[in-house]
Structure 1
Amino acid sequence: MSGNPGEDRDRRLAEAVRLREEERREEAREILVSLAAELPHDVQVAYQTAWVHDTLGLEAEAVPYYERALDGTGLSRDDRRGALLGLGSTYRILGRYEEAAATLGEAAAEFPDDGGLKTFLAMALYNTGRTHDAMEILLTLLVTTTNDPEIAGYRPAIEEYAKDLDATM
């Protein structure tokens, strides 16, 4: 073990990420839970700990780690996006639909070009009964990202219907 706490943290974190990527998730979780207890303000450790809990289907256990990661500073832009999507999706899985929609809505506003966030937001909106908003997001996403010429040919009509599915043209 290194005498430098920062080097030890980096080594253990890298080992846990490697184990998670190798699908040795429980081993990764053990390392990360220990690191998170030792370094409660380390947002990167919190994010990785949340992530490994999610991959194990331990969503309720993942939430406080996601929240801790997002409450602090220091996540890269990519990791922040991942933590927001992870937390929002996890809230949704746990039936916490309003929190899911709020988290994913904030994330989609912060990362407006991320179609994945918009898709998860649409699912959360559906769960809250906001089906019109969900359909508007999905239809708009569909026509702005499709390579299907049959759909692209109807883009103007689909964009109009996305605004109001009950309207007639």
Structure 2
Amino acid sequence: MSDLQQAICLRQEGKVREAIELLNQITEFEPENGEGWYQLAWANDSLGLEREAVPYYEKALQLELSSEDRAGAILGLGSTYRTLGQYEHAKTWLLAGISEFPEHREFEVFYAMVLYNLGEHAEAMGRLLVQLADTSGDPRIMDYSLAIRYYADQLDRVWE
């Protein structure tokens, strides 16, 4: 097992501080290891150390990452900026994720949260309704999915 795999296992086992120590060593000796920086960001984020995580996400995104890790790093950075109240930065990154990974619906959900924070409630609600209609396995939601999608961008309309 590589040091990186060991660090991931430590994080998954809840031994996050140990994972961070190992990841700090990895990134010190392999500064071009994008996955190491991404995992370091994730570990800090999971401890509620959002401010510490930001530069690690940013560094990871400057380096080579697998598609899955790149998507995770963009989502992590966007979400972290949102929790720090840096909504415009969050919006920029989450929109980049939506553009780069349109099949990853989680970006839409986190983007809706940012829109809510920015006071764009109708747009946020509409996006969430589309995700609900498209992804719900509940038969009653599925029965109304066309109506839910239809109303998603007409929340303020009043029919007379």
Query: Superposed, which structure 2 residues align to 1:35-54 within 5 Å?
Result: 35-54=26-45
How many matched pairs? 159
Partner of 1:78: 68
* Structure 1 stretches lacking a partner, 5+ long: 1-9
2:107 maps to 1:98:
no
- Quote the Cα distance in structure 2 between the aligned partners of 1:16 and 1:148: 38
> Given the alignment, which residue of 7, 27, 35 partners 1:16?
7
TM-score (norm 1): 0.87
Query: Superposed, which structure 2 residues align to 1:8-157 within 5 Å?
Result: 11-73=2-64, 75-157=65-147
TM-score (norm 2): 0.92
Task: Flag the 1:65–1:167 CA change in 2: closer, same or farther, 3 A.
Answer: same
- Quote the Cα distance in structure 1 between the aligned partners of 2:111 and 2:119: 12
Answer whether contact 1:20 1:52 (CA < 8 A) is retained. yes
Task: Report the RMSD for the aligned CA atoms in angstroms.
Answer: 1.5
* Structure 2 stretches lacking a partner, 5+ long: none
- Quote the Cα distance in structure 2 between the aligned partners of 1:16 and 1:117: 26
- Quote the Cα distance in structure 2 between the aligned partners of 1:11 and 1:165: 52
Answer whether contact 1:41 1:68 (CA < 8 A) is retained. no
- Based on CA coordinates, which of the two structures has the bigger radius of gyration? 1
Shift of 1:125: 1.2
Percent identity of paired positions between Structure 1 and Structure 2:
47
Answer whether contact 1:51 1:86 (CA < 8 A) is retained. yes
Shift of 1:149: 2.6
